[in-house]
């Protein structure tokens, strides 16, 4: 039986992808071959040597120690785009919440104690002026990060009649294809902030983005900016944000990532990390993550990994082994020479690389035994070998 250790609540539609005959899946499993999780902050000591793969049912992988995984040959997957629509819809709610007195108006109505319908109606009509807002149509939205979510948000905002300016220095070709040509391009973050009434963040939490919304960035913002953060808390410097709210530079901060210093500020609206919490997104992410794990564990194929190359080879009639190595010359030729010396015929092979690592799928005539696996593992620069 293959063992999968789960963390967090994973949709049963995804867990059903692991056939009961071949997989044992649960949150108490010891020595798993793979881990399937959502936002659980995974520590190195929670990744035993038995683990070959980790799937994040979601987009952000800042809760996984990627470098250590790569070093140990552990393939890390995420599920790009699987929850993008859910986040886009909540961004729409965020835009409306920051524009109209929706929550405040609801609180006002809820606090009314009047029993007479006519007087109640009078109070409603008298009170509403305190909660008037502005419309989105005609305003300018800045979208920082134009990947799966950002592109969806940008296109949606155009349909709402907003002007849209995007900033993404590392935009992928696929993301650029998804984006409407009506989205204007900002050369840098400061230029975007200077022109926008609303800014929404959709970048991953990486070194380059942590604290990118700091006092310097906010100083270039238009007075009265409404900032939406459905990306990660650490992308915004909260002290700088509180100072900008104090002087009205930022009129409203909507964030999916509560933190102590933000609690209780009436210009800040906090949600409990709800961006991807829809039935549909949870199912999409769990199904995609589980499918990727199954294909990797059973065939060695890799799709949507954040640390290993994309690779897929059709099964042949032979036996399969896979290995990962430092991306340096002569490793593959040494493994092939070793097979030749052992008189083992190769049926098919595929080799791909990504940055510093290479990964090979090799179909051979003979079932790989412990001696062969140890011999491949012994080739200099090979750091992970698996019979699949
Ligand atoms: N609130 C939630 O529940 C929720 C749900 C899904 C994703 N997220 C967060 O949103 C992030 C984005 O998700 P996605 O699915 O769109 O990911 P994605 O990988 O499709 O898109 C991220 C984009 O950010 C761009 N980018 C990277 N560095 C940048 C920088 N310095 N400046 C501007 N752009 C930069 C990348 O080029 C890419 O196009 C995730 O990493 C995650 O942290 C949050
Ligand atoms: O990065 C993501 O996909 C989101 O933050 C969703 O996280 P969750 O799966 O824990 O809701």
Q: Same domain, yes or no, for 150 and 265?
A: yes
d(CA 120, CA 124): 6
Q: Same domain, yes or no, for 128 and 139?
A: no
Nearest CA to ligand 2 atom 6: 276
Among the atoms of ligand 2, which is closest to the Cα of residue 8?
Answer: 10
Is the beta carbon of 81 within 6 A of some atom in ligand 2? no
User: How far apart, in Å, are the Cα atoms of 172 and each of 164, 206, 210, 386?
Assistant: 19, 17, 21, 32
In angstroms, what is the span from residue 258 Cα to ligand 2's centroid? Answer: 14
353's enclosing H/E stretch is: strand 346-354
Is the beta carbon of 56 within 6 A of some atom in ligand 1? no
Output the pLDDT for position 40.
Answer: 98
Q: Same domain, yes or no, for 187 and 149?
A: yes
Instruction: Name the pTM for this structure.
Output: 0.97
Phi, psi at residue 165, to the nearest 5°? -120, 130
pLDDT digits (tens, 9 = 90+) for 18-72: 999 999 999 999 999 999 999 999 999 999 999 999 999 999 999 999 999 999 9
Q: What averages of pLDDT result for each successive group of 10 residues across the chain (388 residues)?
A: 97 98 97 98 98 98 98 97 98 98 96 95 96 98 98 98 98 95 98 98 98 98 98 98 98 98 97 98 98 98 98 97 98 98 97 98 97 98 97
Output the pLDDT for position 376.
Answer: 98
Nearest CA to ligand 1 atom 39: 147
Q: Same domain, yes or no, for 123 and 155?
A: no
Q: Same domain, yes or no, for 172 and 248?
A: yes
* Counted domains in the chain: 4
Output the pLDDT for position 170.
Answer: 96
For residue 276, the 8-state DSSP code is T
pLDDT digits (tens, 9 = 90+) for 233-264: 999 999 999 999 999 999 999 999 999 999 99
Phi, psi at residue 298, to the nearest 5°? -90, -25
Output the pLDDT for position 229.
Answer: 99
Can you say whether residue 315 is alpha, beta or left, with left for phi > 0 and alpha for psi between -120 and 50 degrees? beta
Output the pLDDT for position 201.
Answer: 99
Q: Same domain, yes or no, for 46 and 111?
A: no
Give the domain extent around 362. Answer: 311-388
Q: Same domain, yes or no, for 128 and 140?
A: no
Catalytic positions, written as ranges:
232, 261, 273
Q: Same domain, yes or no, for 293 and 324?
A: no
The residue from 270, 293, 328 where one domain ends is 270
Cα 153 to chain centroid distance, Å, stands at 15
Q: Which bound ligand lies closest to the C-alpha atom of 149?
A: 1
**ipTM exceeds 0.95, yes or no:** yes
Is the beta carbon of 60 within 6 A of some atom in ligand 2? yes
Q: Same domain, yes or no, for 142 and 261?
A: yes
Q: What is the mean pLDDT of the chain?
A: 97
Q: Same domain, yes or no, for 138 and 266?
A: yes
For residue 29, the 8-state DSSP code is -
């Amino acid at each position: 039986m293959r063992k999968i250790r789960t963390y967090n609540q994973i949709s049963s539609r995804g867990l059903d992808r692991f056939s009961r005959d071949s997989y044992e899946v649960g949150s108490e499993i010891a020595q798993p071959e793979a881990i399937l999780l959502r936002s659980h902050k995974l520590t190195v000591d929670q990744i035993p040597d038995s683990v070959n793969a980790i799937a994040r049912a979601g987009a952000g992988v800042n809760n996984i120690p990627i470098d250590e995984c790569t070093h140990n040959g552990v393939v890390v997957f995420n599920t790009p785009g699987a929850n993008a629509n859910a986040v886009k819809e909540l961004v729409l709610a965020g835009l409306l919440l920051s524009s109209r007195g929706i929550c405040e108006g609801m609180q006002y109505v809820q606090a009314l104690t009047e029993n007479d319908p006519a007087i109640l109606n009078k109070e409603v009509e008298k009170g509403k002026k305190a909660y008037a807002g502005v419309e989105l149509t005609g305003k300018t939205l800045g979208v920082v990060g134009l990947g799966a979510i950002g592109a969806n948000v940008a296109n949606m905002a155009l349909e709402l009649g907003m002007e849209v300016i995007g900033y993404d220095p590392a935009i992928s070709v696929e993301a650029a294809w998804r984006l409407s040509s009506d989205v204007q391009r900002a050369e840098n973050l400061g230029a975007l902030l200077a022109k926008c009434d609303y800014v929404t963040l959709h970048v991953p939490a990486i070194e380059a983005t942590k604290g990118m919304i700091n006092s310097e960035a906010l100083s270039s913002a238009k007075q009265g900016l409404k900032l939406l953060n459905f990306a990660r808390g650490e992308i915004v410097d909260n002290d700088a944000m509180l100072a900008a709210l104090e002087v009205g530079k930022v009129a409203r901060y909507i964030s999916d990532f509560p933190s102590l210093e933000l609690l209780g500020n009436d210009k800040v609206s906090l949600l409990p990390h709800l961006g991807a919490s829809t039935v549909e997104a949870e199912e999409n992410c769990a199904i995609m993550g589980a499918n990727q794990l199954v294909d990797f564990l059973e065939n060695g194929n890799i799709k949507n990994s954040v640390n290993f190359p994309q690779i897929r080879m059709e099964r042949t009639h032979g036996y399969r082994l896979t290995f990962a190595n430092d991306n340096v010359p002569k490793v593959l030729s040494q493994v092939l020479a070793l097979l030749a010396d052992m008189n083992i015929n190769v049926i098919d092979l595929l080799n791909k690389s990504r940055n510093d690592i290479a990964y090979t799928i090799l179909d051979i005539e003979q079932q790989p035994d412990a001696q062969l696996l140890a011999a491949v593992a012994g080739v200099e620069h090979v750091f992970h070998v698996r019979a699949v």
